Amino acid sequence: MARRIRPPSPLRVRAGERLRVRLINASAEHTHVIRLAGHRLSVTHTDGNPLVRPVEVDTLPIAPSERYDVLVTAGQPGAWFLYCAAPGHAAAGEQALVVYEGREGVKPEAPAEGVFGLSAWQYGLGRGRAVLPRPSCQERSFDLTLGGGMMGSEVWTINGKQYDDRNLVHLALMLLSSVQFGQLKSRTIQSCLGNCTDFQSIIATLATSQLGKER
């Protein structure tokens, strides 16, 4: 049985304030369409990565596990709902009242479902800012195609080849050196991984190692 979410306490703002709001979709399956009635949302970051320049939109669709940073200018004194515009979501409690100082008695308009006539964020509108230094070594590219796992099978392949536990260290070295740690020497990664022979121990070792601090 669906359970209605209890709305949070009103969010209080002052006219003229510029607010930074971080939105995270912790849902495992729903895309939420965020809107602050009466206001525009200026998207500045996607999943923590800054955009070259902010992008102003009316609504912000957020897929599961996505995170966005937006700026809002409090320039419409009154009371407004910050809510999910997907059908049925606001009625289920996915809403919060935003009230301007001195306008506590104002009755807000009910959340409107849908995004017809409204501009919505999509990745083609913004370009990420380069934040990592250019590699000092020669760049190499690898095409990795994941296959398998069909019809209940637990057999997975990379570029048509199946890897077992004995090959995981070699595979991890290949992936890490090509994706995350391109500026590290392979022997440095090997010394950190040591004698790991299974996937879990590789991940545990990487999570606690100092690889990310080396150059």
Domain boundaries, the chain: 11-125, 146-207
**Was domain 11-125 assigned CATH 2.60.40.420?**
yes
Mean pLDDT of 180-184: 44
10 Å Cβ neighbour count for 18?
10
Rounded distance, CA 180 to CA 42, Å? 30
Dihedral over Cα of 88, 93, 94, 99: its sign: positive
What angle is formed at CA 112 by the lines to CA 108 and CA 113, rounded to 5 degrees? 155
CA 200 to chain centre: 25
Query: Full-prediction pTM beyond 0.75?
Result: no
Mean pLDDT of 12-26: 95
Going by DSSP bridges, is the β-strand pair 41-46/11-13 parallel, antiparallel, or unpaired? unpaired
For residue 188, pLDDT over 70 is answered with: no
Mean pLDDT of the chain: 80
Mean pLDDT of 8-28: 93
For residue 209, pLDDT over 90 is answered with: no
Residues 6+ apart with CB under 8 A from 101: 12, 13, 14, 15
Q: What is the pLDDT of residue 171?
A: 61
Rounded distance, CA 196 to CA 205, Å? 8
Name the least confident of 87-96, 182-191, 195-204: 182-191
Residues 6+ apart with CB under 8 A from 5: 92, 93, 94
Q: What is the pLDDT of residue 181?
A: 45
At 68-118, the pLDDT tens digits run 999 999 999 999 999 999 999 999 899 999 999 999 989 999 999 999 999
For residue 56, pLDDT over 90 is answered with: yes
Name the least confident of 80-84, 133-137, 156-160, 177-181: 177-181
Give the residue from 79, 63, 76 showing the smallest Cα distance to 24: 63
Distance between first and last Cα of the chain: 53
